[in-house]
Each structure stands twice: as structure tokens, then as C-alpha cells.
Amino acid sequence: MADDAAPDHERLDRVGEIQEAWRRERPDLDPSPQGVIGRLHRVALELTERLVAVYGQYGLTEGEFDVLATLRRAGAPYERAAGELADHTLVTTGGLTKRVDRLEARGLVERRAAASDARRRLVRLTPEGKDLIDRAFTAHLANEHRLIDELGETDASTLESVLTRWLRILDER
């Protein structure tokens, strides 16, 4: 390493460069929140890219993976009412309908009327859907472990604790 090169931990990343530019252009403002929020945003984008790549290996989009995983973790018989499914996947019922339509066309889920109320629609994993999500989720968790392992156990544990607390604070508002 050349004498004038800064060690890796001292070099500015893209967020640091943006903060420095704002400090120069607007010295009256404190851009320090960008150090956390900007980096979290960039980390989220990078993680999403790496997660979506694994879903794609199984022919799934992020939304389709989410629907199948939500049904799978419901336990046998691996079904939920459409409204419940929308709540658990954090999408609108209209957005959910499109996802379920695509999954149904591929034979991964099926719709049926609830026995107690024919107007109530249930979405259920097919055996093919259960097999696919089991394989995809196994690969997904291996990918997540690999990504987290890059941080080390101490940093990962600290980050989980901080993010859990922050989410709780944000959810209360």
C-alpha cells in the first residue's frame, strides 16, 4: 500500500462523499443522519439484489416468493384467506390477486371457497408449490446466513438488536 493511501476504514464510501459535499455546500446543515439512513438504504438495495437472485433461481419474483413463504409458514394445510394473505405479505388485495393469478397459472397455488362461507376465498399451496418453496426457502436461508456471516457474530447480533429497537420506535408512531 502506498504511503499516501488511506486505510480501508478511513476511505470515504459513496455516502461519505455525499455527506462531505453537503458539508461543503451547506455548512449550516448537519448531514450526519445520512451516515446511517443513507447506508441502510444502500445496504437494503444491495441485500434485495442478492436475495432476488436466489428467488430467480427458482423462477420466482420477490413477491411470489413472499406469497409462497407466507402460505408455507401458515402450517398445514398451507392456506390463508385472501385478506389474511394480503395482510401477511404487506400488499394490497389487488396486488395480491396478480401474484396469486401467476402462481395459480403455474400450478403452485389453488383457490377455493371456504366451507363456512362460499364468498370467502382461500389460497392454498399445491404439493408442487410446497416442494418449490421448501427448496427455495432452504436456499434463501443459506444465502442469508452467508450474507450475515460476512459481518461476524458480534456485529450481526448488535445490528439485530439496534434494528429491532429502531423498528419498534418507528412502529409506535
Task: Dump the DSSP string for 32-93.
Answer: THHHHHHHHHHHHHHHHHHHHHHHHHTT--HHHHHHHHHHHHT-TTTEEEHHHHHHHHT--H
Q: Looking at residues 29-37, what average pLDDT do you find?
A: 94
Give the pLDDT of residue 115.
74
pLDDT category of residue 95 using cuts at 50, 70 and 90: confident
Q: What is the pLDDT of residues 127-142, one digit of tens each?
A: 999 999 999 999 999 9
Q: Looking at residues 37-48, what average pLDDT do you find?
A: 95
> What ranges do the domains of the chain cover?
14-57, 61-148+155-162
Between 3.10.310.40, 1.10.10.10, 1.20.120.1730, 3.90.1150.10, what CATH number should domain 61-148+155-162 receive?
1.10.10.10
Give the pLDDT of residue 2.
47
Nearest to 109 by CA among 83, 141, 85, 135: 85
